[in-house]
Every structure is written in C-alpha cells, then in structure tokens.
C-alpha cells in the first residue's frame, strides 16, 4: 500500500520533467460577460489553448489585486482578468473601479519583477467568443515566450 | 525655533485649560538625547514636558483613530507629514474633522541619529544638544563637534515636498524653507524602474527575504488602521506566518497596494524597519503612478475622494487591447 502510494507520488513528481513546460494561466472572468463569452466559445466549438484555468467572479470589480499576487506566489505563470466593456457592467460601475485598480497592480508587480506581459486586463462581452479566443491565444503565446515564472523553483 | 517649543506648550496649555481638548499628542524627551518619545498630555500641569527638536520623528497621526475613538477632542502636534496623514484619516472617515485640532509645526527636517554616530559607528555615550536653530553639538568619546542638521537629515525628510503643514487649525510658526531634495522625491523609483525586470525581481526578492515579519511598518503607519489586516486573516490565508521570501513578498506587495493613493510618504515604515528594507521605494512608486494617472496627490485635500475609491467614465482603457 505504502509502496503503491510512493510510486504514484514519484510518478506525479516526475511527470513535469518528462513533458515540455506549458504556461499555466489563471483567468478571472466576470459572470455576466466574459464567462458567457468563454462559454459561447465552447458551445461554438471554437478551440483555444488549454492553458487557462477559469475562475468565475461576479464582476471584474470583484478581482482583488491580492488574487493576482496569490497566483504568482503559488507559481502560476500568467493572469487574465476580463470583464464587461465600460458602460455594460451588470453592477453599473464595477468595471470602472477595476479599470483604475488593475493597471496599477500590474505596474506595481512589474516594478517588483513580474513582467507586465504576464498580466492581461481586457474586456470581453458575452457575444465576443472570438475575441475571448484571441485574448487567450495571445496571452498564452506571450507568457510562453517569457518562460516559467516559478517563484518556488527559483528558491530550490 | 526654541520659540516653536514655547508656542506648542502655550497652545497646549490653553487648549487643555479651557476644555477645548481632552488630550494633546506631542513629543517629550526620550531616554537618550537623540530620541524623543510620543507624549500624551492630559492636564495643563504636564504641558512643560512637551519638547520640539530635530528628533521628533514619530508620526503622531497613528494614535489618532484610537484617541478619537475614546472620546473628546484631540490636539496633535503635526509636522507636514503628520498633517497629511491626518487629512487621509479625515478623508477616509476614521477621524471626524471637528474632533481634531491640528497644531501645525513648520518642519525643517529630522536628524538621523545613525548619522551622528562616532568613528566607531556607535552612539553609546553620545551626548547631543541642539542650539535651537540648525546646529547640533555632538559630544562623544572622540571629542565634540558641531553638525548642521541639514547635513544629517533623514532621507525621507531630505526628500520631503510638504514640510510645512498643508492643513492646520493653529499654525505655530512661519513657513519653513523647502527641503533640499524635494525635487528628487522619485529618484529612487526611477533608478529602480530603469533596471531590467529580472534584476528588479532579484532585488525585491533579496529585500523581502530579510523581512522578519515583525509588522513594525504596519504598526507605525497611520494609514494601516484596519482592525484585521489581510495578513492576519486565516480564511483566506493570503500568506503564511513563515518569513520566507514568497510569503514576505506577498505581504510587501499587498501592503504597498493597499497604500496606493493613500500613502503620504512620511517614511515611518522604513524608519522603524529593523531590517532596513526600503519599504518606501514601493510606496513612492505607486505614489508617482497615481499622480501621473489620476493627477492626485494624497493628503492634501480632505474634501477629495481617494483615486481608487472613485472613477471617471473617460479613464483610459487598459493597454493590451492592441488587436481590437
């Protein structure tokens, strides 16, 4: 039993070394626009890089800059924050607050050594499935070019 | 400037005697000649303990929310930076404007005790007297010498842009001359921002790695008044208690962002840091950014709204939308 567990764990630890590195990106998508846009991309059978892990948030204004910092601390390589276009916010003004907050957080993290290309803040409406695909594609390529962020590996 | 000390005492005595305030926050002599300690003066008899000299470093605004919370009106001896901190507290509804009496003191900068140390780098046995103007007489094992306050300024004071309080109920002196480094307040930010991203990362990692997480920066900061700091939360647990580079990075990045558009650069965080981490280089960077983006400088106008608590529909759209 113990051997089996050890074997499984060892296999898991070795797995990343055997496969090529793939960027891992967290996408915070607003429930009313961007998440629906991503959903439409899926139901329209559009393909986009499988590197994003989607977190559905009620509004782009819900995205605390600490979320972004946490992602990098935990070893993700990039972060996407997407919300409704200005004027279209379900909560009227949440995205306006985000539009002040996010670029500032990006600037702070850039100053602290997180390449600004790893963070993307953008608008994707519920109808813009193509745009969602395009944003994910371009961010994934950008992050791939920058390489792994890997805070934890840097320490070892 | 001895006159300032007298003016502080006279005004404090009057305010306490006529019942206008129940407490005066000021400075009194510390246990060594190159330090002062915060004074909490409650009766007119105690007023003569108040002092004013180039070692009144503490930002007294940090005590204000609790003092006001305990009731009554509070008078505060405020340098330029302290007054700006009070403006921030008023703006953010932590201190009702009518409950605080700002005793504005035009500040000519505080001396850095570390720069008064003798040849052996020690302050042990050092005696310092101030001539009431701009000179300190320092006596230590190596003999006596005269030092100009201007030559031993704390860095934050050298770079100060608002050394004369911008808001005061009682102004206790004439406007002080501008500080020598006022025009280069952001030089350190420009120097760092000009380096490649990997270097910046290595730099900040090495800096935060030294953090022992004593939270002295947070305790000394007038803007850090949250009853529960994000670092003390267990759900979500933003960072663990371990003082590793990753966890401390989270603390410093998070704290810097929480002060964006609110920090008045009093520099207390950096002064109290036992590890010498250049914390204000983070705050200054955000301050510069906020000034450029939103045309807003913290701590000047109690009627204005902090830039991250508001928006304009015509704010610029995010970059990275190039393929629209």
* A146/B contact by beta carbon, under 8 A: no
* A109/B contact by beta carbon, under 8 A: yes
- Above 70 in pLDDT, residue B189? yes
Helical packing angle, A65-73 and B245-258, nearest 10°: 170
- Above 90 in pLDDT, residue A24? yes
- Above 90 in pLDDT, residue A19? no
| Cβ pair A93:B311 closer than 8 A | yes
**B283, B219 contact by CB (below 8 A):** no
pLDDT confidence of residue B87:
98
pLDDT confidence of residue B323:
43
Going by pLDDT thresholds of 50, 70 and 90, the confidence category of residue A14 is low
* Residue A93: count of CB within 10 angstroms of its CB: 16
| Cβ pair B313:A87 closer than 8 A | yes
Residues 6+ apart with CB under 8 A from B140: B118, B123, B125, B126, B127
Question: The pTM is what?
Answer: 0.91
pLDDT confidence of residue A17:
55
pLDDT confidence of residue B124:
87
pLDDT confidence of residue A5:
58
Mean pLDDT within B1-12: 91
Structure tokens at B274: 């036992």
Q: How far is A11 from chain B (nearest CA, A)?
A: 27
Residue B61 is given by DSSP the state G
Mean pLDDT within A111-120: 96
Q: A43-53: buried (b, 16+ CB within 10 Å) or exposed (e) per residue?
A: eeeeebbebbe
Taking only the tens place, the pLDDT of each residue in A120-132 is 999 999 999 999 9
Q: How far is B35 from chain A (nearest CA, A)?
A: 34
Test mutation, B191, B201, B235, B312, chain A, max A CBs within 10 A = B201
Looking at the DSSP bridge assignments, the partners of residue B102 are: B76
- CA B187 remoteness from chain centre: 19
- Cα distance between the two ends of chain A: 30
Residue B255: closest C-alpha in chain A: A66
Looking at the DSSP bridge assignments, the partners of residue B153 are: B111
Residue A123: closest C-alpha in chain B: B321
- CA B2 remoteness from chain centre: 23
Taking only the tens place, the pLDDT of each residue in B234-278 is 999 999 999 999 999 999 999 999 999 999 999 999 999 999 999
Residues of A in Cβ contact (< 8 Å) with B205: 113, 154
CA–CA dist B153, B147 (Å, integer): 11
Taking only the tens place, the pLDDT of each residue in B70-80 is 999 999 999 99
Residues 6+ apart with CB under 8 A from B135: B146, B147, B148, B149
Q: How far is A4 from chain B (nearest CA, A)?
A: 32
- Above 90 in pLDDT, residue A152? no
Taking only the tens place, the pLDDT of each residue in B203-231 is 999 999 999 999 999 999 999 999 999 99
Residues of A in Cβ contact (< 8 Å) with B247: 73
Mean pLDDT taken over chain B:
94
Looking at the DSSP bridge assignments, the partners of residue B36 are: B29
Residues 6+ apart with CB under 8 A from A56: A29, A31, A35
CA–CA dist B36, B30 (Å, integer): 4
* A149/B contact by beta carbon, under 8 A: no
**B36, B53 contact by CB (below 8 A):** yes
Q: How far is CA A13 from CA A9, A147, A156, in A?
A: 6, 20, 15
Mean pLDDT within B39-59: 97
Residues of B in Cβ contact (< 8 Å) with A155: 244-246
Which helix (H) or strand (E) is A40 found in, with range? helix A34-43
* A85/B contact by beta carbon, under 8 A: no
pLDDT confidence of residue A36:
97
* B285/A contact by beta carbon, under 8 A: yes
Mean pLDDT within A116-123: 96
pLDDT confidence of residue B79:
97
* B307/A contact by beta carbon, under 8 A: yes
Going by pLDDT thresholds of 50, 70 and 90, the confidence category of residue B324 is very low
- Above 80 in pLDDT, residue A2? no
| B 241-270 → A contacts, CB under 8 A | 244-247, 249-250, 253-254, 256-257, 260
Structure tokens at A9: 């764990």
| B 111-150 → A contacts, CB under 8 A | none
Test mutation, A61, A69, A84, chain B, max B CBs within 10 A = A69
pLDDT confidence of residue B122:
85
Mean pLDDT taken over chain A:
89
pLDDT confidence of residue A3:
58
Sort B52 into a burial class: Cβ within 10 Å, 0-12 / 13-18 / 19+. buried
Taking only the tens place, the pLDDT of each residue in A70-112 is 999 998 999 999 999 999 999 999 999 999 999 999 999 999 9
Helical ranges in B21-103 per DSSP H:
64-69, 80-91
Taking only the tens place, the pLDDT of each residue in B109-155 is 999 999 998 888 888 889 999 999 899 999 988 889 999 999 999 99
pLDDT over 90 for what percent of chain B?
91
Helical packing angle, A129-146 and A34-43, nearest 10°: 100
* B188/A contact by beta carbon, under 8 A: no
Residues 6+ apart with CB under 8 A from B286: A104, A107, A108, B256, B257, B259, B260, B261, B263
- Above 80 in pLDDT, residue A4? no
Taking only the tens place, the pLDDT of each residue in A35-60 is 999 999 999 999 999 999 999 999 99
| Cβ pair A86:B313 closer than 8 A | yes
């Amino acid at each position: 039993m113990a051997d089996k567990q050890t074997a499984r764990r060892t296999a898991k630890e070795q797995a990343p070394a055997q496969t090529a590195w793939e960027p891992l990106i967290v996408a915070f998508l607003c429930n009313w626009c961007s998440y629906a846009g991503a959903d439409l991309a899926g139901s329209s059978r559009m393909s986009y890089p499988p590197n994003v892990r989607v977190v559905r948030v009620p509004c782009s204004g819900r995205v605390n800059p600490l979320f972004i910092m946490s992602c990098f601390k935990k070893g993700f390589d990039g972060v996407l924050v997407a919300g409704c276009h200005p004027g279209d916010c379900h909560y009227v003004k949440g995205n306006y607050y985000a539009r002040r907050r996010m670029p500032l957080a990006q600037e702070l993290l850039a100053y602290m050594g997180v390449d600004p290309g790893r963070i993307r803040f953008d608008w994707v409406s519920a109808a813009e499935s193509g745009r969602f695909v395009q944003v994910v594609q371009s961010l994934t390529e950008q992050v791939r070019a920058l390489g792994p962020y890997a805070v934890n590996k840097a320490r070892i | 400037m001895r006159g300032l000390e007298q003016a502080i005492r006279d005004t404090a005595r009057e305010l306490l005697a006529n019942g206008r305030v129940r407490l005066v926050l000021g400075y009194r002599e510390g246990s060594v000649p190159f330090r002062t300690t915060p004074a909490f003066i409650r009766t007119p008899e105690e007023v003569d303990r108040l002092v004013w000299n180039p070692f009144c470093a503490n930002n007294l605004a940090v005590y204000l929310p609790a003092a006001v919370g305990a009731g009554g009106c509070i008078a505060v001896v405020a340098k330029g930076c302290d007054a700006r901190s009070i403006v921030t507290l008023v703006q953010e509804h932590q201190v009702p404007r009518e409950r605080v009496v700002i005793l504005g003191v035009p500040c000519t900068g505080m001396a850095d005790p570390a720069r008064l140390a003798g040849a052996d780098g020690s302050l042990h046995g050092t005696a310092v007297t101030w001539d009431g103007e701009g000179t300190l007489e320092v006596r230590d094992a190596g003999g006596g010498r005269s030092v100009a306050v201007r030559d031993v300024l704390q860095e934050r004071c050298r770079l100060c842009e608002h050394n004369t309080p911008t808001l005061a109920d009682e102004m206790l002196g004439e406007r002080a001359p501008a500080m020598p480094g006022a025009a280069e307040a952001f030089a350190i930010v420009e120097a760092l921002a000009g380096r490649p991203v990997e270097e910046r990362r290595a730099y900040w990692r090495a800096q935060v790695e030294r953090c022992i997480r004593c939270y002295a920066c947070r305790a000394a900061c007038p803007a850090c008044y949250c009853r529960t700091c994000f670092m003390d939360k267990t759900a979500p647990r933003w960072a663990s208690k371990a003082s590793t580079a990753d966890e401390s990075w989270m603390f410093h990045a998070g704290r810097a962002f929480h002060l964006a558009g609110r920090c008045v650069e009093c520099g207390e965080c950096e002064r109290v840091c036992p590890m010498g981490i250049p914390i204000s280089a983070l705050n200054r960077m955000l301050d510069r950014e906020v000034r450029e983006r939103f045309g807003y400088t913290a701590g000047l106008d109690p009627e204005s709204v902090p830039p991250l608590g508001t928006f304009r529909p015509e704010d610029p759209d995010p970059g990275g939308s190039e393929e629209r």
